[in-house]
A and B are shown apart, each in its own frame.
Chain A
Amino acid sequence: MSRQRFSALSLAWRSLARHRGWQPQWRKCEPKSCYDAVIVGGGGHGLGAAYYLAKEHGLTNVAVVEKGWIGGGNTGRNTTIIRSNYLFDESAALYDHSLKLWEGLSQELNYNVMFSPRGVMMLAHTVHDIQVFKRHVHANRCNGVDNEWLEPEQAKAFCPPLNIEGNIRYPVLGAALQRRGGTARHDAVAWGYARAADALGVDIIENCEVTGIRRDAAGRVEALETTRGAIRTRKVGVSAAGNTSVVLALAGVRLPLESYPLQALVSEPVKPIFPCVVMSNTIHAYISQSDKGDLVIGAGTDAYTSYTQRGALHINTHTLDAICELFPAFRRLRMMRNWGGIVDVTPDRSPIIAKTPVPGLYVNCGCGTGGFKATPGSAHVFAWTIAHDEPHPINAPFTIERFRDGHLIDEAAAAAVAH
C-alpha cells in the first residue's frame, strides 16, 4: 500500500493545490474471518503493538479491534506527560526504553507527534519529598537516566511562573528535573501509529467490541467473538486499559487490577507563559501548556472504582487549589473543559506486560495513571512478547505472577508516581 509521505515539500505542494488530493490516513476495514494476531484496544498501546508486530516481526496479517473510535480512550484523555525518572531498575529500563523511542518517533512514523522534551520538574514540599527525590536522582544516574536536583531558586529560574515564597501551605523546597522529559501530541500518537500500521497492512476496525474469547479443547485461544462477527486467530493481545478486567474475564483470567476515574482539565488558551511540565505529587497538581495555548492540568484519581469516564468536581477543585498557590498568575484563568478516563491500577502501580495463563492470550495493562509516557516502549515490548511467545528482557519482570511470588516493582511505595 502506498501512502503519501509527509514532508515540508509535500505540505507546500498540497497547499498550492488548495489541499485537494489528501488521502485518508488509514482504511476503513471490514473484519476478515481470520488473522495471525488480533490486538484488542485501539489506543496508542494497541496501535503501537500492531505497528511493531508488522514492522519488526513481519506479522502483517494483523487486526486492531476497538469498541469505540481509535484514540478515544485514555490516549485522547491524558495530560501527555513523558518522563522516565522511575526509581527501580525494572521501571527505569521500561520507561527509558519508551523515552528513547519517543525521541525518534516522528521520523519513525513520518508523522509529527510533536514530542517536546521541554523538561519535567517534580516539586518537593516536605523533608520526605526531598529525601525521596534525591534518592531518585541518584538511582536514576546509576541507570543512565538523567535527573537532577534543583534548589528552589533554580526551580524558579527554570519555570518563572512558579511561586517559591515561604508563605503558602506547602512551600516549594526544591525539585527534581528530568530535562529529557516533556510532552507530545496525544491524538497524533494514535493517528501516527494507525497510519503507519495501516500502511504495513494492519486492519484497523473501529466500532467493534469483543464479546467473547473462544478457546479450543487444549485451552488455547482460537477466535474472538465481536459485535461485527467472529474472528479466528491464534494470538490475541489485549491493550484495553480500564476495561482490561472485563475483556480478560471473557477468557476466565483474573488480574490484580482496579479501574479508577482519573480527571484532567484545560484552561482557556493564553500566550506562551509556561515553559516546561511541573508535577507535584504531594499536593496533586500536574500542569503544562499545550501548543494551542491552553494550560493542561491533571488532577488525582477519584476515590472509588468506576467505569463511567467521569468523576467528581471536588477532585478538580482540589487540584486547582494547589495550582493557584503554586502559580498565582493563573488565579483568574477560566477553565474550559474537564473530563475523565478510566485507568487500570495494579497494587504496585507498575504495569503488567505479559503472557496470561491462557495460551495465545497476552496482556498489556496496569499502566494506571501514567500510561501515555509508556506508549512506544510498552507497545514495542508487547509486540515482541506476542511474536515470540515470550517476554522481551525489558518486560520480563512485569508478569502477573509477581504478585504471587512477591517480586513487586513497588513504584507505589517509592512514590515516583502519584495516586
Chain B
Amino acid sequence: MLLIDCPYCGKRPEIEFTYGGQAHVARPSDPGLLDDQSWAEYLYMRANTKGVHAERWRHAHGCARFFNALRDTTSDRILATYKTGEPRPQLAADAGSGR
C-alpha cells in the first residue's frame, strides 16, 4: 500500500485516497471548435508513462481535496506531491527516466 503525502494533511495510507488519472489534462477552452480527432485525444488518449507520471489523487477520506503527485510507474515510488494549480515540479529523477 502506498503512503501518500497529502499537501494539506500529510502522509496517509493509500486507502484514504481515490485515484484521479493523469494530471494536467486541460479541458478544451472552446469545445465547439474541436474536430473528432481532438475530442478523442482529450477524452481517451493518455500518456500511460513508463517512468515518472504526473497524476491526480483525491484525499477522499480526509480533506476531500484533489492534488497532484509525481510517481515512478516502474517502482510505484511517489517522488513529489503538489497542490492543484501549481506547476509540475522539476525533479532530477525526472530527466531521462520516462519513456
Contacts and interface: CB of A to CB of B under 8 A. Distances in A.
Interface of A: 243, 245-246, 249, 254-259, 303-308, 310, 312-314, 347, 403-406
Contacts of A304: 2, 19, 55, 71, 76
Given A246-B99, A308-B75, A258 B40 contact: no
Contacts of A405: 36
A164 B45 CA distance: 43
A380 B17 CA distance: 42
Interface in B68-97: 71, 73-76
Interface string B44-84: 11101110010100000000000000010111100000000
Contact of B36 (A306, A307, A404): A404
B1 A314 contact: yes
Contacts of B37: 404
A243 B74 CA distance: 12
A404 B45 CA distance: 10
Nearest to A306: B73
A305 B48 contact: yes
Given A256-B45, A314-B14, A347-B43, A307 B1 contact: no
A37 B44 CA distance: 30
A365 to B, nearest CB: 11
Contacts of A406: 36
Nearest to B74: A307
A280 to B, nearest CB: 21
Nearest to B71: A304
A313 B14 CA distance: 11
A258 B2 contact: no
Contact of B19 (A245, A303, A307, A308): A303
Top 5 A-B pairs, shortest CB-CB distance = A256-B44, A303-B19, A404-B40, A245-B48, A312-B1
Contacts of B44: 256, 347, 403
A306 B77 CA distance: 10
B40 A403 contact: yes
Contact of B15 (A255, A259, A307, A314): A314
Given A256-B46, A304-B19, A404-B37, A313 B73 contact: no
Interface of B: 1-2, 14-15, 17-19, 21, 36-37, 39-40, 43-46, 48-50, 53, 55, 71, 73-76, 99
A258 B19 CA distance: 13
A313 B1 contact: yes
10 contacts: A245-B48, A249-B99, A303-B18, A303-B19, A304-B2, A304-B71, A305-B53, A305-B55, A403-B44, A404-B40
A305 B49 CA distance: 9
B19 A257 contact: no
A306 B46 CA distance: 13
B57 to A, nearest CB: 8
Nearest to A245: B48
A403 B40 CA distance: 6
Contact of A246 (B39, B50, B76): B50
A245 B50 contact: yes
A307 B73 contact: yes
A256 B76 contact: no
Contact of B14 (A249, A256, A307, A312): A312
Contacts of B43: 347, 403
B99 A308 contact: no
Contacts of B39: 404
Nearest to B38: A404
Contacts of B74: 307-308
Q: With a 10 A CB-CB cut-off, give which of A243, A255, A306, A405 has the most chain B CB atoms.
A: A306
Contacts of B2: 304, 312
A308 B36 CA distance: 34
Nearest to A318: B15
B91 to A, nearest CB: 18
A93 to B, nearest CB: 23
